[in-house]
């Protein structure tokens, strides 16, 4: 019988119970149950919605160091060959949050049994995949009382080998915004198009126009993306559609570019409204602030990993990935880094299977790094 590392076993249990944002009831219960098994004399635990704050008290604290792990899953039907597949139909931990949680529990457990000078705050954050848990969690009374002096987080990276991290000073992840556009015209019989305002035609035209925003309205030396991932419209093949809906995402490397892109989208949508004689509505849904790593802290972390561990450090490029941890970094100095987990399938893929050896490596790395920071 296979003998599992204890936090690999925990990851597998968490993998079975993925839940959507602010619905992580079983996940929260699992985490709280584990925390109850630890010695309690140096722990303070508070819940916030489906999230959890855990303060590990130090022996002579002068500062509070934060560590954040996200806990929600995705609406993806799993296609792995795991014996521990998701038990929740249509849901999967396809972004590695099961690993994020198990790593955080491992580091937390280390400090419960190995006291350091400073206090540590472990934040188990719901709804990273949407609608966004970091911003309201940051505004909570608990966070106001327990606001860290610095904060750290990681994200698994299937493209890098185990025992490798990738990070950079400054911008790591883009500004992101959801995009929902609803069009309402006049439906009717397919044989009489002249009596209708066809929203399928309007939607198709708008999709093509939206691509010109990137090619003609964004500085070529800047970067931005508009992706329309879903179109819905109409009811049956012989009725002209009265309604259509576009669903997509916007990604930019600067907040200023996000503003310009949205202005141009709104102008194009207004043009479709006039040209196709229809009503339109734009909803930007969930918006995430860029992940901007503190320069000095990130450089010190990279030097620490290079000089005091056997983990390989890669200085990576910025990515168009979105992460609401950016809201925390906007208010609290710190950084996020990529953790190599070596999988042929990428994030948000139904066959994502991270190498679980990364869990033990990450726990050891973070325990050593946070020990250094908590004894300075």
With CA atoms as reference, report the closest residue to 173 among 337, 346, 372. 337
Model confidence over 228-271: pLDDT tens digits?
Answer: 999 999 999 999 999 999 999 999 998 899 999 999 999 999 99
**Assigned fold of 176-287:** Alpha-Beta Plaits (3.30.70)
User: For the chain, what are the domain ranges?
Assistant: 6-173+291-373, 176-287
Q: What's residue 3's pLDDT?
A: 82
Model confidence over 108-147: pLDDT tens digits?
Answer: 999 999 999 999 999 999 999 989 999 999 999 999 999 9
Tokens at 12, concatenated: 């597998």
Q: What is the dihedral of CA 165, 309, 294, 67, to 10 degrees?
A: 80
Whether pLDDT at 196 is above 80: yes
Whether pLDDT at 1 is above 60: no
Q: What are φ and ψ of residue 329, in 5° steps? A: -70, -20
Residue 311: half-sphere exposure toward Cβ, Cα within 13 Å: 32
Provide the 10 A C-beta neighbour count for residue 119.
23
Model confidence over 320-353: pLDDT tens digits?
Answer: 999 999 999 999 999 999 999 999 999 999 999 9
Q: How many whole angstroms separate alpha carbon 367 and alpha carbon 371? A: 6
Q: How many whole angstroms separate alpha carbon 62 and alpha carbon 42? A: 16
SS (H, E, C) 260-321: HHHHHHHHHHHHHHHHCCCEEEEECCCEECCEEECHHHHHHHHHHHHHHCCCEEEECCCECC
* Residues 93 and 350: beta-carbon distance below 8 Å: no
Which residues form the catalytic set? 70, 129
Cis peptide leading into 131, omega within 30 of 0? yes
Q: How many whole angstroms separate alpha carbon 89 and alpha carbon 77? A: 7
Q: What's residue 89's pLDDT?
A: 97
Assess if CATH 1.20.1260.10 describes domain 6-173+291-373. no
Tokens at 189, concatenated: 């019989």
């Amino acid at each position: 019988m296979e003998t599992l590392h204890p936090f690999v076993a925990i990851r597998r249990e968490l993998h079975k119970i993925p839940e959507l944002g602010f619905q992580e009831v079983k996940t929260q219960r699992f985490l709280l149950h584990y925390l109850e098994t630890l010695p309690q004399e140096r722990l303070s635990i508070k819940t916030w919605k489906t999230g959890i704050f855990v303060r590990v008290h130090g022996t002579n604290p002068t500062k509070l160091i934060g560590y954040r792990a996200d806990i929600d899953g995705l609406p993806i039907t799993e296609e792995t060959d795991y014996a521990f597949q998701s038990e929740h139909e249509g849901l999967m931990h396809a972004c590695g949050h099961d690993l994020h949680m198990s790593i955080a529990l491992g580091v937390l457990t280390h400090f419960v049994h190995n006291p350091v000078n400073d206090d540590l705050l472990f934040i188990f954050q719901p709804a990273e995949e949407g609608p966004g848990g970091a911003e309201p969690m940051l505004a909570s009374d608990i966070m106001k009382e327990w606001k860290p002096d610095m904060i750290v987080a990681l994200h698994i990276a299937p493209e890098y080998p185990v025992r490798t991290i990738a990070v950079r000073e400054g911008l790591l992840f883009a500004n992101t915004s959801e995009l929902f556009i609803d069009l309402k015209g006049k439906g009717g019989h397919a044989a009489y198009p002249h009596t209708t305002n066809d929203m399928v035609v309007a939607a198709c035209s708008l999709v093509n126009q939206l691509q010109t925003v990137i090619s003609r309205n964004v500085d070529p030396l800047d970067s931005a993306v508009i992706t329309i991932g879903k179109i819905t419209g109409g009811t049956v093949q012989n009725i002209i559609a009265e309604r259509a809906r576009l669903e997509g995402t916007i990604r930019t490397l600067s907040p200023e570019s996000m503003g310009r892109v949205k202005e141009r989208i709104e102008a194009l949508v207004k043009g479709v409204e006039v040209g196709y004689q229809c009503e339109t509505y734009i909803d930007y849904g969930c918006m995430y602030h860029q992940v901007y790593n503190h320069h000095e802290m990130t450089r010190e972390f990279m030097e620490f990993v290079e000089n005091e561990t056997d983990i390989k450090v890669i200085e990576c490029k910025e990515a168009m990935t979105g992460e609401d941890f950016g809201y925390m970094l906007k208010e609290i100095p710190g950084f996020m880094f990529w953790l190599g987990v070596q999988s042929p399938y990428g994030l948000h893929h139904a066959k994502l299977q991270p190498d679980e050896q990364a869990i033990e490596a990450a726990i050891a790395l973070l325990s050593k790094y946070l020990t250094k920071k908590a004894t300075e």
